[in-house]
Structure 1
């Protein structure tokens, strides 16, 4: 837009806006300051790279936990079925042995 002045934010102001987005919500803080999401994203990447990396790592960890939990449940079912089969076979053997050795 012609005639519109470009605002400059200090690094502290940018950090405050990023922190405010975490508290008030991104859309609300962007409207309040008249910023686009792309500007916010750039600032966030610049000022909080370790936070974003940590969030990504936590997300991946949660995914791995879900996969391992599902695998654990599947294995528990297999073990339960095997234990049941062993119990049934043991009972049949005891029953057969009692027929031959009264």
Structure 2
């Protein structure tokens, strides 16, 4: 049986911490299948910063925004490649003498 990563919202974390304060951490950690260290960390964050301390510390990125950012990077690479090609071609034209061809 593989472990699946679960996510808890700030409200879920708050209710679990409140329950652990009432019932005790060992009982609550068994009930929700959480490690005691995770529950302890949530409790410390709650006691230090209140309910705001239980929010995600990293911003969630919308999947559409991520897709657009990847597309933007791809287009930037294309433009950079074309600019480099134009620069190389202009340098070659400067070095090549233009005049009548000999037959």
Shorter-chain TM-score bucket reads 0.3 to 0.5
**Higher normalized helix content (fraction of residues):** 1
Of structures 1 and 2, the one with the larger relative CO (CA 8 A, separation 6+) is: 2
Max Rg structure:
1
* TM superposition score normalised by structure 2: 0.44
